[in-house]
Chain A
Amino acid sequence: MSLQLERVGRTFAGKPAVQDVSFRAEPGEIIGLLGTSGCGKSTLLRAISGLDNAYDGVIEINGKKVNGIQKTTGFMFQEPRLLPWLNVLDNVTFGLEGNREEKQKKAGRYLESVGLAGNEILYPKQLSGGMAQRVAIARALATSPEILLLDEPFSALDAFTKMQLQDLLLEVWRSYRSTMVLVTHDVDEAAYLCDRIIVLRGQPGTVEREIAITESRPRERGSSELAAYKAEILASLDLTTETA
């Protein structure tokens, strides 16, 4: 599904947080929203998700103007946000419809693809941070969202788990081809995962520039090509002036 934003902005109590953001995501594309903290990345994502309806501008999904939560949109939060009273399997089936057996079969398949088969009966309190986030990935994917919104999904994880889960995300993306919008402040992550990176800057945040990463997948984390992209991203963020 394609996603289009036209001059989207959001004002909190008279103070604009993000302004005039326009971009288009083609079906199956992975778009990165990158910027320093406070530039309105997550605000934009919440507007796209429909959790926040008080934005300005127009958001279109498949050419149709939307306002409110769409069943075809999935959201992965910064924290796993598992329901503590449900076990792993029931957490994954949470958003599914249909009869119990079908739901569980489907959830089981996604749990397997995030490497958690056999942990169905555990409760969230028994999971490590990485495992919980895997369950959250399985839950977000289980409804087969055509647009998947990810709000710094790996930022709370350690470096190794983060890399594992990034690869996992790409793996499931290869088989399901959801359109993804990934909010991140991690330049490495953006360069490794995204087809296109939209760099936001300032307060209120505006689009500083758009960087297309043409490097084919699988990408080499340490490759010089990615390093060049990272340098370009960092240059566009222009961090030096902010500290001066």
Chain B
Amino acid sequence: MAKNQSEVSGIFTAGSKSKPSAAKPKNPFTHPLLLGSIFPLLLVVVWEVLSRLEVFPAYQLPAPSVILGTIAGMAEDGTLWGHVFITSYRVLMGFLLGTAAAVVLGSLVGFYKHAEALFDPLIQAFRSIPSLAWVPLFILWMGIGEPSKIAMIAVGVFFPVYLNIVSGIGGVDRKLIEVGKMYGLNMFQLVRRIILPASLPSFLVGLRSGLGLGWMFVVAAELMGASQGLGYLLVVGQNTLAPETIIASIVLFAVIGKLSDWILKKLETRTLHWQDRAAKS
């Protein structure tokens, strides 16, 4: 009965149904941006006050204003942009490289049984090696320059993307593939018109966790030896007993890491708007 009712109302309200967000009144006090800033702001204020009261010793935990001052100082003398740029560049290159490798291998393993038998055991074996263990070897092979760092990050990005592509392709609904077959699609068309769009959600999940790991690995790579970059700032801060430099670097990592994830998130909501997901109340 309920189904019939929704059928009838579905037909008559179909026009308005297409824009569901228009009707909902927006409460300015529950805007997600506002809600999300409450605790960070509170934390910063408490931290600043406690620092001014000298509860924390300044040589261990400087006040937020001091950290901001450090960042502003670096921005003024121009060094900040170099650090941010080189770190972002490493992550981006590693991310692209790792993703490209994962797409190629993941698609092969996802589509072909024989490719799975051939590659998957080896890939799974490599996966069980903690990726940071590769660092010394990569430095030995490729030197201390960019290639070893980018390779490092690519390794970190590769696994989550690969795993999600394989499971995404494996999880495509057989029923939808049958629809394609009924319309006489060949293998290539099936991949393009059904398998790729159906496994896109899983692929995007892989991209986001891959990017997260990319940021993790850039720190490791830059700690090992770099002359520029946010990870290098961490080392400098430690060696010059300057906690404000370390925390400034951490803050910058947080900001650009979040920014890059936000870009992927946007991409996700744009390409996956068709997904039937439960809305939170």
Contacts and interface: CB of A to CB of B under 8 A. Distances in A.
Nearest to A70: B184
Given A131-B10, A158-B3, A118 B15 contact: yes
B183 A118 contact: no
A77 B182 CA distance: 11
B176 A130 contact: no
Given A69-B184, A125-B276, A126-B17, A83 B179 contact: yes
A75 B178 CA distance: 10
A-side binding surface: helix, strand, loop or mixed? loop
A79 B276 CA distance: 16
Contact of B275 (A86, A125, A157, A159): A125
Given A74-B182, A79-B175, A128 B7 contact: yes
B274 A71 contact: no
Nearest to B183: A95
B203 to A, nearest CB: 13
Nearest to B4: A158
Contacts of B184: 69, 71, 95
A155 to B, nearest CB: 13
B197 A85 contact: yes
Q: Which of A119, A128, A161 has the most CB of B within 10 A?
A: A128
Contacts of B17: 122, 126
Contact of A131 (B1, B7, B276): B7
Contacts of B181: 51, 69
Contacts of A85: 197-198, 200, 274
A71 B181 CA distance: 10
A123 B10 CA distance: 13
B4 A161 contact: yes
Given A118-B14, A128-B7, A83 B182 contact: no
A77 B175 contact: yes
A129 B3 contact: yes
A128 B276 CA distance: 13
Interface in B122-159: none
B182 A49 contact: yes
Interface string A79-100: 1010111100000001100000
A123 B274 contact: yes
Contacts of B193: 94
Contacts of B275: 84, 125
A157 B3 contact: yes
Contacts of A94: 179, 183, 193
A206 interface: no
A129 B15 contact: no
Identify the 4 closest CB pairs spanning chains A and B, nearest first: A95-B183, A125-B276, A128-B10, A130-B7
9 contacts: A85-B198, A85-B274, A122-B17, A126-B14, A129-B3, A130-B4, A131-B11, A161-B3, A161-B7
Given A94-B193, A131-B11, 19 more contacts: A49-B182, A51-B182, A69-B184, A71-B184, A81-B175, A81-B178, A81-B179, A84-B274, A86-B274, A95-B182, A122-B17, A124-B276, A125-B276, A127-B10, A128-B3, A130-B4, A143-B183, A157-B3, A160-B4
